[in-house]
Amino acid sequence: MKKRLVISLLLLILLTTINPQQKIVISKFNLKTIIIENNSLLEDKDIKNLLLPIYDRNLIFLKNIEIKKALIQNSFIESFNIKKKYPSTLKIQIFEKKPIAVLISEKKKFYLSEKIDLIEFKNLPNYQTLPFVLGNKDDFKIFYNNLKEINFPLDIIVKYTLYETNRWDLETINNQVIKLPQENYTKSLKSYLNLKSKNSFEKYNLFDYRISNQLIIK
């Protein structure tokens, strides 16, 4: 902070009495190099392209809010740390949103983050086996958080389907379908988990909880 203040004061003095030599000194603080760190899903070039409008800007007077406006254009970026390295380098540490599911809505695909934020969809090699969500983001957020609250094993789910009657079906990795009721579905899910520990569990493909206080198994 002290170093930045000294540099700012020096520039202020130079700007009050401009001559060609002083212009050369000032230009040494123009942004020339951007270093991107900690990104794994996004490529450096994609992030740097967002920052093209700030290239060659004076690093001392460049505000963080301007950098933020550029970076938040990419929906994969959760947050970031910015560090200025004088005279002409900007270092940015990127924290990315991690996809947990693929939302299919109105024939369009989006990734969903852990906070159920929408993320632009593109084929990512490490995220080919994510579960699909047929429904809407807001209802899924409530449902997903309820699943986490009861410690339901999310890694066994391959598909979430929301029906117009406002109830969910789950499909699991072992081809089982869990048909849930509109209300008190966490009770049904807890029942399913209890049955999961039984020896005969694997031979059933359908667990239908839609009728209150009744379970149909096939």
Scan for tokens 């409008």, then name that residue.
53
Cα(24)–Cα(27) distance, integer angstroms: 5
Cα(194)–Cα(212) distance, integer angstroms: 18
Q: What is the per-residue pLDDT for 10?
A: 55
14's tokens: 């130079």
Cα(48)–Cα(94) distance, integer angstroms: 12
Question: pTM for the complete prediction?
Answer: 0.82
Q: How far apart are the first and last CA of the chain?
A: 69
Cα(17)–Cα(12) distance, integer angstroms: 9
Q: Determine the residue type at 90.
A: L
Q: What is the per-residue pLDDT for 76?
A: 96
| Relative orientation angle of helices 137-149 and 185-196, to the nearest 10 degrees | 50
All structural domains of the chain, each given as residue ranges with its CATH number in brackets, are 15-96 (3.10.20.310), 99-217 (3.40.50.11690)
Contact yes or no for 161/134 (Cβ under 8 A): yes
Q: What is the per-residue pLDDT for 187?
A: 96
Q: What is the per-residue pLDDT for 199?
A: 77
Sign of CA dihedral 125, 126, 129, 134: negative
Q: What is the per-residue pLDDT for 26?
A: 63
Listed in sequence order, the residues at least 6 apart from 41 whose beta carbon sits closer than 8 Å to its beta carbon are: 76, 96, 124
Q: What is the per-residue pLDDT for 5?
A: 55
Element (H or E) spanning 146, and its range? Answer: helix 137-149
Strand, helix or coil at 76?
coil
Q: What is the per-residue pLDDT for 17?
A: 47
Cα(20)–Cα(183) distance, integer angstroms: 75
Q: What is the per-residue pLDDT for 24?
A: 53
**What are the per-10-residue average pLDDT scores of the chain (218 residues)?**
55 52 66 96 96 93 94 96 95 97 93 96 91 96 97 97 97 96 96 88 93 92
